[in-house]
Amino acid sequence: MKKIDLTNQRFTRLQVINEATPYIWQGKAKIQWNCQCNCGNTTIQTTEHLRSGHTTSCGCLGYEARKKAVTKHGCAKQGKKTSEYSRWQGIIKRCYNPSSENYKFYGGKGVTVCDQWRESFILFLADMGPCPTGYEIDRTDNTKGYAPGNCAWVTPQQNKRNMSNNHLVTINGETKLVVEWCAIFNINKHTVYQRIHRGWPEDQWFELTTKTRRKRQHHES
C-alpha cells in the first residue's frame, strides 16, 4: 500500500512539517508526523489521528474549551477554577484515570460518570447547581455512578456518614455495614476508614493493633 505523504498539509490548527520517527505498536510501524500548531507549540501525531480528525491541535483547543466552560455563566473569577469545576474534574479523574490515588475505590470498582456529565461541565453544573462553600459531591446510592438524581452537595461530615451507611462487608458469609462490624469487633470506626482509604486488604480492616490488644489485656487483668 502506497504511503500517504502529509507534508505541508493542514489539519485544523496543525500544519504538518515533515515525517517523524515511526513507533511500533503490536509489531507494526505507525507513521508519525512533526506538526506545528497555530499556538506555536509542536507535536507528533499519527496519520490516522490527523486524517480522522481525532487530533486537531497540540492540546490547546481542548484547554480553551475547558477554560470557556469554567468561565461560562460567570461561575469563575479571574480564570480560577470554581468549586463546581474542581468537583467535576475530581469525579472524572477518580473514575477514569488509573494514575489517581483514589481510582481503585471508584473506577477500579466499576463506578462511572454518566455520559452527559463526563462530556460537559455545563450540563453537570446545570444539574447540580452551585456548590455551597466547603461542600462535597456525594452519591445517594453508592451502588450507582455519578448521574442526575443520584448526587447531591453535602458536608464532609455527611459524606463520611453516608459512606459508612452504605459500605457493606461480608465476613464468614454474613454481610453487615462497616459501622456494625466495628461495634462487633469493638474497634474505632475512624481507624477502619483510614485503613480502607489507604488500601488495606479487607480481611485486615477490623484487626486490632498489637498496642491496642496489649492495652485491653492489661485492662482486663
pLDDT on residue 30: 83
- Cα 186 versus chain centre, distance: 34
The whole-angstrom separation of Cα 21 and Cα 61 is 25
Tens of pLDDT, residue by residue over 125-171, are: 888 888 888 899 988 887 789 999 889 998 887 776 666 555 677 88
**Computed over its alpha carbons, how large is the radius of gyration of the chain?**
25
Closest CA to 88 of 161, 156, 146, 155: 146
Tens of pLDDT, residue by residue over 88-117, are: 999 999 999 988 888 887 888 888 999 889
Q: DSSP string covering 127-150, please?
A: HH-PPPTT-EEEESSTTS-B-TTS
pTM above 0.85, yes or no: no
Pairing of strands 42-46, 28-37: antiparallel
